[in-house]
């Protein structure tokens, strides 16, 4: 990882930063000069991401917590501001797939957990990130939804509902804070090769056949698109939806 100055002097907060898209995004942000706070439930993967950042000369702060718990998110954002002197960029990425069942077979506990992480977790992120970013003079947020944020994914009722919800949250938040110098956009990953796919490899193979590029996406490819949305090159973009999907939605 080589450091350059695109985000020099700015701090970033990334949820789900222990693996997959979150880890790749945190490393990419640090490579572009940002100080990065890493939030996730398990310390070991977060420490691995932090080690990769520090090995390249970057700055990382590990914050263990559950995005489905508002107090955890509030405390994590507060610690980020205290450590880095402000907050300028955020990526609400943490997510779970909720398992594979027909709707009536989904347990109440599974529904509540999936909605809690994927939708409430994004709401809690926005709730505490936005005031911190406003107080720092403005910045940008990217919410990670899915190519299934406006269509159905069979046997994934909670996941699909949560991602539809992220779409609505993003549009409303972008409208509410556009004049406060906070840009809020939505990124829709397609079928990306992350640990979340490990329990659904059979379904993934079937879906790959419908991807025009004929392959899975890589976390680093999504991370670069996220950094574009966070950066000054996207200065006139807010409330936008950007797909990184190999053409899946064509």
Structural domains of the chain, ranges and CATH numbers in brackets: 11-244 (3.40.50.720)
Give, in order, the Cα–Cα distances in Å from 196 to each of 16, 85, 96, 193: 12, 34, 7, 8
Share of the chain above pLDDT 70, in %: 96
* Helices 108-115 and 157-177, axial angle in degrees (round to 10): 30
Element (H, E) at 60: strand 59-64
**By mean pLDDT, which of 85-89, 130-134, 203-207, 230-234 is the weakest?**
203-207
The confidence score (pLDDT) of residue 139 equals: 98
159 is catalytic: yes
The confidence score (pLDDT) of residue 2 equals: 54
pLDDT (tens digit per residue) in 58-100: 999 999 999 999 999 999 999 999 999 999 999 999 999 999 9
Could you tell me which residue, 196 or 21, shows the higher pLDDT? Answer: 21
pLDDT category of residue 237 using cuts at 50, 70 and 90: very high
pLDDT category of residue 31 using cuts at 50, 70 and 90: very high
Q: Say yes or no to pLDDT of 55 above 70.
A: yes
The confidence score (pLDDT) of residue 200 equals: 65
What is the b/e burial string over 105-121, where b = at least 16 CB atoms within 10 angstroms of the residue's CB?
ebeeebbebbbbbbbbb
The confidence score (pLDDT) of residue 38 equals: 98
How confident is the model over 200-220, as a mean pLDDT?
85
pLDDT (tens digit per residue) in 103-157: 999 999 999 999 999 999 999 999 999 999 999 999 999 999 999 998 899 999 9
Q: Say yes or no to pLDDT of 233 above 80.
A: yes
pLDDT category of residue 204 using cuts at 50, 70 and 90: confident
The confidence score (pLDDT) of residue 1 equals: 53
The confidence score (pLDDT) of residue 4 equals: 72
Please give the mean pLDDT across all residues of the chain: 95
The confidence score (pLDDT) of residue 3 equals: 59
Q: Say yes or no to pLDDT of 198 above 80.
A: no
Q: Which of 128, 159, 177, 236 is catalytic?
A: 159
Rounded-to-5 percentages of helix, strand, coil across the chain:
50, 15, 35
- What tokens appear for 78 in the block? 């507060």
- What tokens appear for 46 in the block? 């977060």
Is there a contact between 166 and 207 (Cβ–Cβ < 8 Å)?
no
Q: How far apart are CA 9 and CA 212, in angstroms?
A: 39
């Amino acid at each position: 990882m080589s450091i350059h100055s695109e985000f020099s002097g700015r701090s970033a907060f990334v949820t789900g930063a222990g693996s997959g898209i979150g880890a790749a995004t945190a490393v990419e942000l640090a490579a572009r000069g940002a100080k990065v706070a890493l939030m996730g439930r398990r310390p070991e993967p977060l420490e691995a991401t932090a080690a990769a950042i520090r090995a390249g000369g970057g700055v990382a702060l590990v914050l263990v917590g559950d995005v489905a718990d508002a107090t955890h998110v509030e405390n994590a954002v507060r610690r980020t501001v205290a450590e880095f002197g402000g907050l300028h960029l955020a990526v609400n990425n943490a997510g779970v797939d909720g398992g594979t069942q027909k709707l009536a077979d989904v347990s109440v506990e599974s529904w509540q957990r999936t909605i809690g992480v994927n939708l409430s977790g994004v709401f809690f992120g926005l709730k505490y990130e936005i005031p911190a970013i406003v107080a720092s003079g403005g910045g940008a947020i990217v919410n990670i939804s899915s190519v299934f944020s406006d269509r159905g994914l069979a046997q994934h009722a909670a996941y699909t509902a949560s991602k539809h919800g992220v779409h609505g949250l993003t549009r409303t938040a972008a409208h509410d804070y556009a004049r406060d110098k906070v840009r809020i956009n939505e990124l829709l990953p397609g079928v990306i090769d992350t640990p979340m796919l490990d329990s659904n490899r059979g379904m993934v193979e079937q879906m790959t056949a419908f991807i025009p590029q004929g392959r899975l996406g890589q976390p680093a490819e999504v991370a670069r698109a996220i950094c574009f949305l966070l950066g000054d090159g996207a200065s006139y973009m807010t409330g936008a939806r950007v797909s990184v999907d190999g053409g899946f939605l064509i």
